[in-house]
Amino acid sequence: MDLRIKLIPYEKIKSKDYADVLKDLEEGTILLIDAKLTAAEEAALIEETMKIISDKFSGIELSSMELAHLKEAKGIDKFKNMLVEKILGKKRGLTIIGPAKIVRKIEKNPEDLLLYM
């Protein structure tokens, strides 16, 4: 099977529109999201995934990271970042969600995410 990677907007997760996300994961697509998910969104996604686990779909590997330079920002830079994120309505970063049958492990490093397949 060809490896499929799809970039989806964060708004899909934010609006709790999980149907397409779960369908893609069930079909073996790795999803990239243009933001860091909140803890509540991660938990909601785990919950939704658990509902569709079957013999063929065993769940997901998930990792979400905030951009390192934003995380380490201090003082006025930190304030500026907070303001930008407030306006954007999302935490700047990256999330990778992969079907567990394809993505064995995601290693989270301070500045990158490494997928083992």
Partner 1 sequence: MVIRHIRRIKNKFASIVRSIFRKKKDVKIGLYGPVNSGKTTLANKICMDWLGEELGKASSIPHETREVMVKEKVTVRDNGKSLTFNLVDTPGIATKIDFEDFLKFGMKRKDAKQRAKEATRGVIESIKWLDSMDMVLVVLDSTKSPINQVNITILGNLDARNIPVLIVSNKIDVKRSDTTRIRNAFHGYDVIGVSAKNGDMMNEMYKMLLKKI
Binding interface with partner 1 (CB under 8 A) = 38-40, 42-43, 46-47, 49-51, 53, 55, 58-64, 100, 106, 108
CB of 2 to partner 1, least distance (A): 22
CB of 99 to partner 1, least distance (A): 9
* Residues 6+ away with beta carbon under 8 Å from 67: 92, 93, 94
Residue closer to partner 1 (CB basis): 78 or 108: 108
| Polymer length of the chain | 117
Provide the terminal-to-terminal Cα distance of the chain, rounded to the nearest Å.
13
Residue closer to partner 1 (CB basis): 43 or 82: 43
* Residues 6+ away with beta carbon under 8 Å from 21: 8, 12, 13, 31, 45, 97
Residue closer to partner 1 (CB basis): 1 or 56: 56
